Amino acid sequence: ALIREIANELGLNLELTNVAFDGLLGALQLGQIDVAIAALSITPERAALVDFTNVYYVGQDAIVAEPRSSIVVTTVDELAQYRVGVQRGSAYETWLRATLVATGEMAAENLFVYTTLPPAMRDLRQRAIDVVIMDSAPAESYVEGGSAKLVAEGLNKQRFAMAVPKGANLLRETINSALSELQAEERVAALTQQYLPLNASQVQPLPPEVQPAPTTAPLPSCIDGGLYLATGNTADPSIVVPTVLIAGQVFQKEIRVRNSGTCPWDGSYQLAYAGGNTPAAQMNGVAVPVQGSVAPNQEYLFYLNLTAPVNPGLYQATWELRNGQGVSFGERILVSVQVPTAPTPVPTPTPSSQPNIQFSVDRSYIRAGECVNFYWQVENVTAVFFYAQGEQQAGVGGIDQRSRCPTTTTTFELCVIERDNAQVVRQITVGVDNGLAPQIRRFDINPSGTINLRQCVTIAWEVAGQVSYLRIRRNGESLWDGAPLMGSF
């Protein structure tokens, strides 16, 4: 919204490009974009690569504890002694991992990572954790509601600004001039209140404009960059015309890109799924590595093998390029698919000569790693076979059931041989969401092995992927319902 206001103020046409966040500075250096604005905070490391405009917003952290807590935090280092809750993927998780966990000041078991804030606040009230770190706006709501106590704020203030290529002084000054006009007219403050849950009193005052001293760290030997060579790619998914596919349809998407950077690509580079509007938007797609090498300015064609979801709806997936270190870069690619609602089938009368076949499954859409149960009842036939398409037929009983755990969207068939040797086949397709299935990265007990009677142990865990609920149990007894994705007990 802000960049649109600035473009209007300057009378310029605006073209938005969806670039991977980690590749924004590289895109500026390569001349792929003119301005970067995407919650970019000013840091000395970034200032070594690009120049920044004046600050347009200051974000502030807040640390809350249980209302009756006596905890007081004045420095970041003091957090190391507490059990700290954060939201997964937030700037605060990244900040604590880099500042305290990676340096060894804080035990990894003291960092509790939640999918959303409400479970963290629940555990705070139950004293399962000591403090929670979040933005100042939601923290103020919890404090005003009496469910939390503010114990610190402003330990990790972030100054957000737009980035421009190094040395682009005229562009930077022009943007600063337009930004000053918008701030004087209070349009920036209005946008802040419109798009953030803040009122005027909660907006932090802008600091004096001081460009940070760049770091003296060595610059990278080359810069990664990638351009998607297709018409109609846009940063606004609302104007993309989706491809209409039937439920469960297998299809291949060609992605042609150009290596617009200065680094050659090898087999460690890949096109990977970055996210979507629903978990099923990944459409069973997996990361595709580069075959061979791709020199700078050379084109390359990726092939994504995808399967349309089985449920009707709009599915929009974002794919991005990643280098050998897993760092994303270049222009992001949108794959949009519309699965229409299937028409209600009109049943056809079953001739009296055909056998009575009942074939069903308990679920037709699952996540990878889950199983389904098939049931059938067939009478007045010679033989019955149950199998997945592509498998060898396996003989089964006329009244029977089977449990199967498909790893991809699969069509299963029940083949019935009638008494006159005629063959009747019934089909059921089970859709499989191969999104980020839950992965248990860590589950430790310390001390492990044999312990003395009444001796205590510490359980530590970390779970990644798409997780909706986590429960810690002991011999079937629940110890922690709705546990965080990372924590200890």
Tell me how long the chain is.
489
Q: What is the pLDDT of residue 364?
A: 79
Q: Which residues of the chain have pLDDT under 50?
A: none
Q: What is the pLDDT of residue 215?
A: 60
Q: What is the pLDDT of residue 355?
A: 66
What percentage of the chain carries pLDDT values higher than 90?
A: 46
| Class of residue 202 by CB neighbours under 10 A (exposed 0-12, middle 13-18, buried 19+) | middle
Q: What is the pLDDT of residue 237?
A: 55
Q: What is the pLDDT of residue 101?
A: 92
Q: What is the pLDDT of residue 235?
A: 53
**Residues 26, 223 contacting (CB under 8 angstroms):** yes
Q: Which residues have CB under 8 Å from 343's CB, separation 6+?
A: none
Domains of the chain from N-terminus onward: 2-58+158-202 (3.40.190.10), 59-153 (3.40.190.10), 226-339 (2.60.40.10), 357-433 (2.60.40.10)
* Integer CA distances (angstroms), 412 to 386, 394, 415, in order: 7, 12, 10
